[in-house]
Structure formats: C-alpha cells, structure tokens
Amino acid sequence: MKRLFNPFRYIAGAKALILGLIFIAAATLMLYSGSLIQDSYIHIGMAQAPLWYVGAMQIIWWLLPALLLYLCGIALSKSKIRIIDILGTTAFAQLILLLMIAPMLLPAIMNGMTDILVALQSGVTPTGSTIMPLMIYSIWSIVCLVLFYIWNYNAFAVSCNVNGWKAILTFIGVQVVVTIAGMVL
C-alpha cells in the first residue's frame, strides 16, 4: 500500500526520470493517435495537432509544476535537494496520467465522447449505452486524478524533504498557480 501511494520512497533520481520520460513519450503517442492533447495541467481536450506539439505540451505541463516545486523546495527545505530528484519523481508521476489517457482510446469511450459532443450540439439527449462507458471512465479518471495529486505531493515531499502544513500549503499554492497558467496560456 505504501508503494502505491508513495513510490518515491523507493525510486527517484535518474532512474525515475528515465522511466518518467518513457511514460511521457507513451502518453504523447497515445494522445496523438487519438487526436487528443493535454491543453492544460490536468485537462485533456480533442484537437488535431502535430506530434511535436502534443509532446511539447506534455513536457510543459510536467516541467512547469516540477520547476516551481523545486524553487519552493530550495526556499523551504533544510536539506541539500537535487533537481534530478524532483524532475525524476514528478516525471514518474506522469504514469498516472498515462493510465488516465489509455482508456480514452477505447472505442466505447472515443465514440461516447463524440456522441456526447454531437448530442450537445444538436440538442438530442444522449442514450444510456453512450453514457454508461463514460460514467465508468469518469469514476476511473477521478481515482487517477486523486492518485496523481497524491503522487505529485509525495514527489515534492520526498525530493525536497518538506512535510506538514508547510509542504501541503506550498503544494496547493503551486497547483493553483499551474492551473491558472493552464487557463491563461
């Protein structure tokens, strides 16, 4: 259970960074193949974009919070922190996004999303068979989202050796800044 919620007790640094970059590359390919894009910190939208652009967005929404957390870590931590740890752990946390994206490529989810968009545009009520897979996927994505925040918090706490309210409030602050950045950019 400890490993599920805090894998960074056991993995960090270069090893985590290499695996994290593989997860980011896999997520980029998945998003591209499904004509999807991560257009803000935790939002996936539908868009026909070139592969490099999909990848660049993935990198930006991983690097931006990671660097902000690193700067906060420098300011708050009494330990000698390493940038490779925060980059590695936050990159490894992208595995959760990968798990969130993967079911989006299933025909039931893909068709469901298209049907909902069409239904919303034409004012027709979507059918139960369309909604059911999307409902299941919504629950899955909420679970993934919670785990994504837990992993990212633990990435910050372990890499920068900060804990308690100081760490929680700083982490929330960074999430708010990144979310706002996602709306503005």
CB of 110 to other proteins, least distance (A): 37
Angle between helices 51-76 and 128-160 (to 10 degrees): 40
Q: Which member of 26, 60, 63, 81 binds other proteins (CB under 8 A)?
A: 81
46 binds other proteins (CB under 8 A): no
16, 92 in Cβ contact below 8 A? yes
Return the bridge partners of 44, or none. Answer: 38
CB of 72 to other proteins, least distance (A): 15
Q: Closer to other proteins at the Cβ: 12 or 31?
A: 12
Alpha-helical (H) ranges within the chain are 2-5, 13-33, 51-76, 83-92, 94-101, 107-122, 128-160, 164-184
Chain mean position to CA 33: 18
Q: Closer to other proteins at the Cβ: 5 or 53?
A: 5
10 binds other proteins (CB under 8 A): yes
85 binds other proteins (CB under 8 A): yes
Q: Which member of 18, 43, 71, 79 binds other proteins (CB under 8 A)?
A: 79
Consecutive H or E run containing 45? strand 44-46
CB of 86 to other proteins, least distance (A): 9
Cα distance between residue 151 and residue 43, in whole Å: 17
Q: Closer to other proteins at the Cβ: 111 or 161?
A: 161
Residues with Cβ within 8 Å of residue 142, at least 6 apart in sequence: none
- Could you say which residues in the range 127-166 bind other proteins, by CB under 8 A? 158-159, 161
68 binds other proteins (CB under 8 A): no
CB of 92 to other proteins, least distance (A): 10
Cα distance between residue 161 and residue 170, in whole Å: 13
Question: Which residue ranges make up the site for other proteins (CB under 8 A)?
Answer: 8-13, 16, 78-82, 85, 89, 158-159, 161
